[in-house]
């Protein structure tokens, strides 16, 4: 069999990126449930949600390693493999940030969110979830663009990237509000540190999503 001719045709890394993005989305939904659980006083299942996120993260890790391990140096792609790696790193950064957030909470689960901050925190969580949900759509639309190189399709992907940026900006604002309120709170320094760091970690989820968007923007450059 003339297999070498066929060895040229390999598994597309975009396939993996898409799969990874879907894992990220799956993780985001579990993260949201975990946070809602943490905000409510009666919830007992936080630890279960945290375990689930860890599990999803390790599944995504397998996909990540598979992508990284299967792009030989001589691979020809519509974009440089360097960009694929950078994009993947940012998309994976989202997962890490989600995991970090839940870990951070678990280090001191007796700290409960004060009543007056609950609404802000829940808005911050919603604000960071929104950009994550867009990632897999962005990858799918980008793949369509690389099929046709049509300007319209490029605009669609660019719009998604803009949306990501706006959402990150929104999340930033909530983060600022929370930090300001926390520092003006009459509370124990440990609690203040825990809450401030919590807000920052949640905020970093959106940062990574935005960075992924920036990498995608670099892929689209002509």
Partner 1 sequence: MPQEFYVLIFGYIVGFYMAWNIGANDVANSMAPVVGAKAITIRQAVFIAVILNILGAVFIGSHVTNTIRKGIVSTEILTDPHQVLIGALSAMLAASLWVNFATWKSLPVSTTHSIVGAMTGFGIIAGGFSIINWIKLAAVVVSWIISPVFSLVFSYLIFKIILKLILSKENAFFWSLKLSPFFIGSTVFVVVLSFLFKTPLGKNLCIKAPEALMMAFIMAVFFGFAGMNLLKSFVKGSKLDGAEEIFRFIQIGTACYVALAQGANDVANAIGPLAVIYLLVKTGSIGATVPVPIFLLLFGGIGIACGISMAGHRVMETMGKKITTLSNTRGFAVNFATATTVLLASKMGLPVSTTHAAVGGVMGIGLARGVEAVNFGIIYKIMLYWILTVPASAVISMVIFKILQFLL
Interface with partner 1 (CB under 8 A)? 1-15, 71-79, 143-144, 146-152
Residue owning tokens 């203040």: 192
Helix (H) or strand (E) holding 96: helix 81-107
Nearer to partner 1, 110 or 152 (CB): 152
CB of 62 to partner 1, least distance (A): 16
CB of 85 to partner 1, least distance (A): 14
Angle of helix 46-69 relative to helix 13-39, nearest 10 degrees, comes to 170
Nearer to partner 1, 102 or 219 (CB): 219
CB of 4 to partner 1, least distance (A): 5
CB of 24 to partner 1, least distance (A): 20
CB of 22 to partner 1, least distance (A): 17
Task: Report d(CA 122, CA 35) in Å as an integer.
Answer: 8
For residue 10, report the phi and psi dihedrals to the nearest 5 degrees.
-120, 175
Nearer to partner 1, 77 or 187 (CB): 77
Nearest to 133 by CA among 46, 40, 68, 212: 212
Q: Which two tokens stand for residue 182?
A: 């926390």
CB of 219 to partner 1, least distance (A): 11
Nearer to partner 1, 85 or 104 (CB): 85
Task: Report d(CA 21, CA 2) in Å as an integer.
Answer: 35
DSSP SS3 for 2: coil
Q: Which two tokens stand for residue 139?
A: 């990858």
Nearer to partner 1, 39 or 146 (CB): 146
DSSP SS3 for 138: helix
Nearer to partner 1, 1 or 189 (CB): 1
Angle ∠(10,14,20) on CA atoms, nearest 5: 120
């Amino acid at each position: 069999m003339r297999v070498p001719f066929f060895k040229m045709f390999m598994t597309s890394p975009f396939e993996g990126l898409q799969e990874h993005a879907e894992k990220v989305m799956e993780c985001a939904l579990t993260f949201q449930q975990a946070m809602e659980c943490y905000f409510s006083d009666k919830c007992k299942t936080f630890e279960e949600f945290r375990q689930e996120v860890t599990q999803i993260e390790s599944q995504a890790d397998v996909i990540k390693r598979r992508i990284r391990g299967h792009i030989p140096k001589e691979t020809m792609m519509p974009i440089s493999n360097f960009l694929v790696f950078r994009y993947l790193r940012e998309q994976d950064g989202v997962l890490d940030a989600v995991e970090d957030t839940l870990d951070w909470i678990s280090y001191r689960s007796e700290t409960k969110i004060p009543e007056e901050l609950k609404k802000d925190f829940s808005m911050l969580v919603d604000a960071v979830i929104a950009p994550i949900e867009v990632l897999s759509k962005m990858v799918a639309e980008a793949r369509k663009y690389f099929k046709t190189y049509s300007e319209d399709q490029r605009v669609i992907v660019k719009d998604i990237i803009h949306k990501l940026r706006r959402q990150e900006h929104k999340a930033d604002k909530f983060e600022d509000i929370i930090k300001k309120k926390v520092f003006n709170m009459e509370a124990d320094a440990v609690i203040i540190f825990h809450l401030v760091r919590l807000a920052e970690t949640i905020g970093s989820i959106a940062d990574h999503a935005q960075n992924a968007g920036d990498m995608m923007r670099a892929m689209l450059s002509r």
